[in-house]
Amino acid sequence: MGEFKVHRVRFFDYMPSGIRALAFNRGTERLAVARDQGSVELFNFPDNYCQEKVIPGRDGRSVEALCWVGSRLFSVGLDGLITEYDLDNLRPKYTVEAYGGPVWSISCNLEGNLLAVGCEDGTVKIFEVLDDRIQFQRNLDRQKGRIISVSWHPSGTKIAAGMMDMIRIFDAETGHAIHRLLVERGVGTAKNREVVVWSLAYLSDNTIISADSAGKVQIWDGLTGTLIRSHYITKWDVLALSVAHDESSLIAGTSEGTVVQFQFLSSGEQQDKEWIRTRTFKNHTHDVRALVLTDIAVVSGGMDTQLVVRPLLDKVEKNTAESALRKIVFPFKSLVSCAKKAGLLLFQFPDHLEVWRLGESEGYGKPGECLLIKRKPEKLIHLKRKGEDHICSSALSPCGSWLAYSTTSSVRLYRLQHSGNNISISKVSKLPKFLCSAHQLCFSPDSTKLFASSTQSSVIVISLGQSECKYVHTLATKSGSRQPVHLLAPSEDGKWLATANTDCEVHVYNLNKLKLHCTVPVYGSCPTAIAIHPMTSNLVIVHADKQVFEFSLGQKEYTEWSRKLQKQGLHPHWLERDTPISHIFFNPKNSNHIIMHDVYMLCVIDQSLPFPDPKTRLYNQMSLRGLPEAERVRHSHAFKICKSFQDVLSVISLEDQSLVIVERPLLDIMSQLPAPVLQKKFAT
Amino acid sequence: MVEHGEIRVVHRGGSKINFRQPVFTHDSRFLLCASANAVKVFSASTEECVHHLVGHTDLVTGLILRPSNHLQVFSCSLDGTVRLWDYDDGILIKTFVVGFPIYSIYASGSHDGVLFLTIPAKNDKRSDAFQLVAVQLPQSSEQLVEAREISAVLPDVSANPGAISFGRAGQYIASVCGLHLEVFFFKKQKSFRFSLKEENNKGIKNTFTCAACHPKEDCIATGHEDGKIRLWRNFSHKKEYTHSALHWHHDAVGALSFTPEGTNLLSGGVESVLVLWRYNQETQKDFLPRLGAAIAHIAVSPDGSLFCTAHSDNKITVIHSYVRVSAVIQGLVRGDRIWTDLVVDPRSKALVMNGKPGHLQFYSLQRDKLLYNLDIVQQEYIHESGLDQFEVVKVDFDAGGNWLATVEERKQNSAELELNLKLWAFDEQTQSFVLNTTVPAPHEDRISDLSFSPDRTTLLVSASRDGHFKAWALAPPTDAEDQSPSWCCDFVASYHGLAPHCCGFSADGSLLAVGFQEVVTVWSTASWELLTTLSQPPGHVRNLCFGRLSCSKYLLGTTTKNQLCCWNLLSCSLEWSTSMDVTLLLADPLSENMAAFCFEAGSTDLFVFKPSEPRPLFSHKAVCSGRVLRAVFSPREELLEGCEEDVQWLNSSRLFFFTPSMDLMTFSTKAEEDRLMASSKQLVIGDQVSMTPFNLLLGKRGQTEGQEVAAGSERVQPPQGSSAVKELLQTPAHVLPSTSYLCSMFVQSLLISTSDKREQNNVTEEEMESEKEEDDSEDEETQSSAVKPDVASGGGRTGDPTDPGLTKAQTKELRRVRKLDYSWLRDLD
């Protein structure tokens, strides 16, 4: 018989939102990604492209462009506001009205003290960046027509602004326009349409690169205001541009989903370099809306919601983890929670929550067989959120009678009452005042406590009672970390609570004493999943770089197994996997089994077996099957990997020895996207 | 030396001209191409073969203009020599003996006195390993020089000459082989190697096929098996190289070439489309489609005004730089195989066989020139490999050349066989064959033989594997609307359900012999009754042939069981038989001789005999390796007077045959070769029209005539010789009168001059001509320049001075006369 009965859940209609803007901070190597629904995500590139933080969106907020100023992140949107984000508390810090109608673009000068924003009313507004806010300084000469794109010259003396049908160059000191570069319209019917200069880059040698809606990438001499070269790269729009830091290469993204690279090469003996179109990358099916060219990779995002990191093979070592193409589709944070005892699933959407009851099946079957469904899964509750802020976290208690969600402004707790097949929901009205916002919510296994991660790495503990909910304690660390806790893992016996924050700290609290029990030595990579073993009370931690640690809470040290694993090192194939381990749990029947999963596989780590030899294959299930029994024992190793489930959002083990695997096939997401631009394909 | 009277197997015409990339001469007037063991010099404008550079003893494998003297050309050959020619005069200047078979040759202006050759890798036993070496040419005045100073440049290169290319100013050389691009820098003496993955994840083949270097910039274009063209840049670094891809071709890129200024990149492949990419603006491209066959090589003239493409059907197309075809040089079209028998057209004496797909080609063996292609299938041919398309499989002419019968078939593995029998009538007016009758599905199975009756009655017999043979006759028109008679089936017969394999008419057409497996049946064509059966089992009858002239009472047959039998039809008995594996039996239509090609021990022997006596007149052992399956007797235009017995059979006709490797060979006697040598010494007319008195007169008249007629369309020649313009241009600006004054003077100079001036001009012109008559025609260059101002000043004249009122018809006639060939006049004096 099979090990587990699996509920294969495919009714979670999770739909990621399209990528609108990207901004890369070279200092901290963080990438900020803005999505259509207004949320902003931060990716830590050195740490395996790990998604560190998510700032939830808000109804009516749109982000059109992002800009890093030092380690501060600003955004502008068509709502006419300039927003600075509080990256510690994952919320907008403040907004400033630009008073110029919708704002299309934002650009910061090299010194980082001035911001230029391009507005619908035709003004480029200069804002001064102060320590705690920004202040309007002045307007540049007002133009007719909207300012779509803005770019500073690295010297800070000139600003180029892309408009409809033209590019203007301003003197940043006087605010007067110096040059007017007319951009040619498209041919044919496009002749009657204004051409939009979607993106601009002002290089230090006074070259201006423009990308426009007529499918051209044009290279201008900014001193004389003349066109040097024009490259037609698509029949549709060129939406985004990004120039490498050393200005030797640039990329342009088109509506066809292609990214075209240009390189500044000298073609002959005489050292006159010119921009030459070189490579074309096609990793998107839809518009490429935003691009970043880092030192080693092309990062692109667009309507098809995927963030693609395509390493430049001339800049990285070949055939390493670094040279692999990465497509980041799913959020790292779990959007599914499960009532293990009641068999209920909670799905989190930005604007509502859904509670489903799992189906039931009849009897038993052979391994790998589909069981007959006795009762279909059923949607019990569709809970719309209150307020304009999007839901950032949610939780369902194991008993299935409590439901909590949080936005950046409030936390709401609901009681679910089951009576037969009916279910009723009632809001718990009185919540402690401390609980105004939570980055992460979690119920204790016995459903008597709610843990909410709060500011400065603290965790608020609330006891849940029939009558009222009481604030119990705030678990705080002495490390002084300002980063929010993004992982909460209570132990099964209710004694321990492990927390992890984005400063890579893992703390364990004793819930009985409400005290910090110990701190796991800080490892340089962000933890992506933590769990406490119900029997041995060992804490298992998996980091973004796929390293697995086991920490004994009793001895307050790494276990023997963990040391052995670190000594021998993990299998290279394991380390090369490009999606993070998102969840850890334990096989209740076999205490040696640690089960973890990422988007493409489910892995059972058997602590009783030897570690795999780096030279042998990691996925040896198929070859093992062909071997005789005796041989099989000799060849089997600790990592047993199951790949029969793809695009896995979440795997949860229920009380009754069954697993719930929530899949969201990429094809389903693709089919819900709008139609891409029409392209003639050869031989069709 | 060849003994007198000895018969040799020689190449005579029909050689490949598409084997290697053609080379334009520096002035773009001539096109040099390697053609079997010789180099042919074609005129790029008239398509005429001007010179034959003969001297190599094996296949010529490469040509390149000498960088230091562009009037000379190097050629390399498998015989291990490099020869230097003066192509203008057709003289061999020097022979360099290298000592290894050479597969291709490269040279660059910056490497003086050094040639780069592809030779087999020495210490490698594999035949497909080649290396690129540099050969220092010794400075010596001798004719025959040993060039032994060889240094290796690149190991492991491709034998394909298009895979190696010299970069900007000869600084580096790029070579592609398999999945690697290797660039060797001469200055640094260092090579960089760039590799591609064998297949990308979509299963597309990345293998390199050809390379071309940009002449002005550091950019290498490479063609790939999947149809992509990659442009490599920045390759002077190992790591930071970069490439961009151009993708239009859907199949392998066959050839690539940059124009001399590097503004355009030309590419071609199986699609038979020449693609012209604008360098650095690759989204704009021009196409020249429907070139007829896959493009194998592309060459560009040094001034960039002409391109030329060599095609897989042995054709060279000369193309203007504005992408218009200007000339086509067509050799004998040779596919990978011939389905039809070789037939000689009785009218034009041209060799008729499969040509372009779906066409019959008429190839004049005497003039070594393709006369025309006749479209038989009349369907669009799709240029893609692996498609099953209609092909002409049988062809025959009637005795007078008035009728042509063709059979086309399409054999698809699964689907039914499609067959068409077509009959074509010769149209005197158009001098071409016109389709008269199409018989769809004339038989239920493949037609195994097709034969016209040799007498003047129109009777066609087709034998098919379905067990029947059918006789087709010309029937009078059935109703009034039909003007021309059409063909219909006259008689169907079978013999015991056996499948006929061959059929043949006796010389007078009264008897028809049909071979049904082991049995030969003889039928009377008058009454269609079975006269007799002849049988010589075991073995199926493979070939049937009636004797001619004095031997017409004999019927010869070959069987699959290695028997050659000769029956006497008067006695209906076997006259003689001999045991030999005859693959092909042919009767000379002009004599009683018969030729039998016998396969023995891996090669083919030829026996020529008379049916009356079982003794060969002539035999030639091992004419070629493999089986000869196609051969033909072609009547001579002028009879030879060979008196030796073993040469006599060649007196009235020549025997041509195809080797299994598709080389057209013939038998030649010493006398014939001598005569050919003598005739080749005569100069051939190129586009430089020879200076006979007639030509001087007519040519000039035609020139002025041409200007006059084409005045509407052509640009008027600027009057650079006129005194007004001279004055205008030569006087210093500060002493010039006002512009308004000059303008009127200038306009006046453009006007038609008065008649008395014309008279005067004419006199001087005639004087000049008479002067030139005494001159010999060696210095043509100065002559034309001397004549030019004269012509120019008379450019505005309305008509010819001596014949002022010339009608249009007269003009036409004059121009026609001018086009006629007057070179024979030279032979008279």
- pLDDT above 60: residue B698: no
**Are B202 and B243 spatial neighbours (Cβ–Cβ below 8 Å)?**
no
**Are B768 and B787 spatial neighbours (Cβ–Cβ below 8 Å)?**
yes
**Are B193 and B185 spatial neighbours (Cβ–Cβ below 8 Å)?**
no
Average pLDDT over residues B184-202: 81
Average pLDDT over residues B687-709: 49
Considering only CB atoms, which chain A residues are within 8 Å of B217?
267-268
Tell me which residues of chain A, numbers 497 to 516, contact chain B at a CB-CB cutoff of 8 Å: none
pLDDT at B778 (0 to 100):
43
Identity of the residue in A231, A232, A265 whose CB atom sits nearest the CB atom of B233: A265
- 3-state class of A160 per DSSP? strand
- pLDDT above 70: residue A2: no
Measured distance CA(B393)–CA(A523) in Å, rounded: 79
| B474-511 residue pLDDT tens | 887 766 565 678 888 888 988 888 888 888 888 888 88
Task: With cut-offs at 50, 70 and 90, classify the pLDDT of residue B693.
Answer: low
Q: Which of B195, B196, B233, B244 to mutate to test the interface with A (most CBs of A within 10 A)?
A: B244
CA distance A339 to chain B (A): 43
**Are B665 and B656 spatial neighbours (Cβ–Cβ below 8 Å)?**
yes
**Residue A125, strand partner residues:** A117, A139
**Residue B521, strand partner residues:** B514, B533
Measured distance CA(A102)–CA(A53) in Å, rounded: 27
Q: Which of A262, A265, A271 to mutate to test the interface with B (most CBs of B within 10 A)?
A: A265
Considering only CB atoms, which chain A residues are within 8 Å of B219?
267
Burial A576-585 (b: 16+ CB within 10 A, else e): ebbbbbbbbb
pLDDT at B414 (0 to 100):
65
CB contact under 8 A, B233 and A682: no
Whether residue A363 lies within 8 A of chain B, CB to CB, comes out as no
Measured distance CA(A216)–CA(A210) in Å, rounded: 8
- pLDDT above 50: residue A484: yes
Measured distance CA(B283)–CA(B124) in Å, rounded: 44
CA distance A139 to chain B (A): 40
Task: With cut-offs at 50, 70 and 90, classify the pLDDT of residue A474.
Answer: confident
Cα-based distances in Å from B563 to A536, B543, B581: 95, 11, 7
User: In chain B, what percentage of residues exceed pLDDT 70?
Assistant: 80
Token couple for A579: 């999606």
CA distance A294 to chain B (A): 16
Considering only CB atoms, which chain B residues are within 8 Å of A261?
242
CB contact under 8 A, A314 and B242: yes
pLDDT at B3 (0 to 100):
40
How many other CB atoms sit within 10 Å of the CB of residue B110? 13
Among chain B residues, the shortest Cα distance to A216 is held by: B283
- pLDDT above 90: residue B742: no
Give chain B's mean pLDDT. Answer: 79
pLDDT at A66 (0 to 100):
92
CB contact under 8 A, B242 and A263: yes
CB contact under 8 A, A278 and B216: no
pLDDT at B201 (0 to 100):
62
Residue whose token pair is 């907020």: A61
**Are B521 and B511 spatial neighbours (Cβ–Cβ below 8 Å)?**
no
Measured distance CA(B516)–CA(B523) in Å, rounded: 12
Average pLDDT over residues A385-396: 88
- pLDDT above 90: residue B355: no
Whether residue A161 lies within 8 A of chain B, CB to CB, comes out as no
Whether residue B110 lies within 8 A of chain A, CB to CB, comes out as no
pLDDT at B257 (0 to 100):
92
Residue whose token pair is 């001009």: B761
Residue B808's H or E segment, with its range, is: helix B808-819
Average pLDDT over residues A310-326: 77
Identity of the residue in B216, B234, B280 whose CB atom sits nearest the CB atom of A268: B216
Q: Which of B240, B251, B285 to mutate to test the interface with A (most CBs of A within 10 A)?
A: B240
pLDDT at B770 (0 to 100):
45
Which amino acid would we find at residue B34?
A
CA distance A195 to chain B (A): 20
CB contact under 8 A, B244 and A280: yes
Tell me which residues of chain A, numbers 222 to 251, contact chain B at a CB-CB cutoff of 8 Å: 229, 231-233
CB contact under 8 A, B244 and A268: no
Q: Who's near B810: CB < 8 A, 6+ residues apart?
A: none
**Dihedral over Cα of A360, A364, A365, A366: its sign:** positive
Go through chain B and tell me how many residues it has: 829
- pLDDT above 90: residue B226: no
Q: How far is CA A352 from the centre of its chain?
A: 20
Task: With cut-offs at 50, 70 and 90, classify the pLDDT of residue B75.
Answer: very high
Whether residue A279 lies within 8 A of chain B, CB to CB, comes out as yes
Task: With cut-offs at 50, 70 and 90, classify the pLDDT of residue B794.
Answer: very low
Which amino acid would we find at residue A269?
E
DSSP string, A191-224: GGSPPBEEEEEE-TTSEEEEEETTSEEEEEETTT
ipTM of the complex: 0.75
Tell me which residues of chain B, numbers 270 to 309, contact chain A at a CB-CB cutoff of 8 Å: 280-284
Tell me which residues of chain A, numbers 588 to 627, contact chain B at a CB-CB cutoff of 8 Å: none
- pLDDT above 60: residue A221: yes
Among chain B residues, the shortest Cα distance to A275 is held by: B280
Considering only CB atoms, which chain A residues are within 8 Å of B168?
268-269
CB contact under 8 A, A263 and B233: yes
CB contact under 8 A, B242 and A278: yes
Task: With cut-offs at 50, 70 and 90, classify the pLDDT of residue B707.
Answer: very low
CB contact under 8 A, A267 and B242: no
CA distance A309 to chain B (A): 18
Residue whose token pair is 């990149």: B265
CA distance B248 to chain A (A): 9
Average pLDDT over residues B707-732: 55
Measured distance CA(A210)–CA(A241) in Å, rounded: 8
Among chain B residues, the shortest Cα distance to A296 is held by: B240
Average pLDDT over residues B504-522: 87
Query: Residue A250: which of A215, A200, A289, A213 has the closest Cα?
Result: A200
| B242-274 residue pLDDT tens | 888 888 898 889 999 999 988 999 999 888 899
- pLDDT above 80: residue A159: yes
CB contact under 8 A, B234 and A263: yes
Task: With cut-offs at 50, 70 and 90, classify the pLDDT of residue A243.
Answer: very high
pLDDT at A217 (0 to 100):
92
pLDDT at A210 (0 to 100):
93
- 3-state class of A629 per DSSP? helix
Measured distance CA(B233)–CA(B248) in Å, rounded: 20
Considering only CB atoms, which chain B residues are within 8 Å of A269?
168
pLDDT at B685 (0 to 100):
43
| B215-225 residue pLDDT tens | 888 889 999 98
Among chain B residues, the shortest Cα distance to A234 is held by: B283
Q: What share of chain B is helix, strand, coil (3-state, %, to 5)?
A: 15, 45, 40
| B760-790 residue pLDDT tens | 444 444 444 444 444 444 444 434 443 444 4
Q: What angle do CA A351, A355, A356 make, to 5 degrees?
A: 135
Count chain A–chain B contacts defined by CB atoms under 8 A.
48
B669 vs A509, more confident: A509
Q: What pairing do the DSSP bridges indicate for beta strands A658-663 and A5-9? A: parallel
Measured distance CA(A576)–CA(B790) in Å, rounded: 84
Measured distance CA(B119)–CA(B131) in Å, rounded: 6
Whether residue B204 lies within 8 A of chain A, CB to CB, comes out as no
Average pLDDT over residues B636-642: 75
Considering only CB atoms, which chain B residues are within 8 Å of A314?
239-242
**Are B461 and B522 spatial neighbours (Cβ–Cβ below 8 Å)?**
no
| B584-631 residue pLDDT tens | 888 888 888 888 888 888 888 888 888 888 788 888 888 888 888 888
pLDDT at A321 (0 to 100):
67
pLDDT at A104 (0 to 100):
92
**Residue B352, strand partner residues:** B343, B362
DSSP A190: G
pLDDT at A67 (0 to 100):
92
Whether residue A267 lies within 8 A of chain B, CB to CB, comes out as yes
Give chain A's mean pLDDT. Answer: 86
CB contact under 8 A, A267 and B219: yes
Q: Any idea which of B27-36, B273-282, B723-732 has the lowest mean pLDDT?
A: B723-732
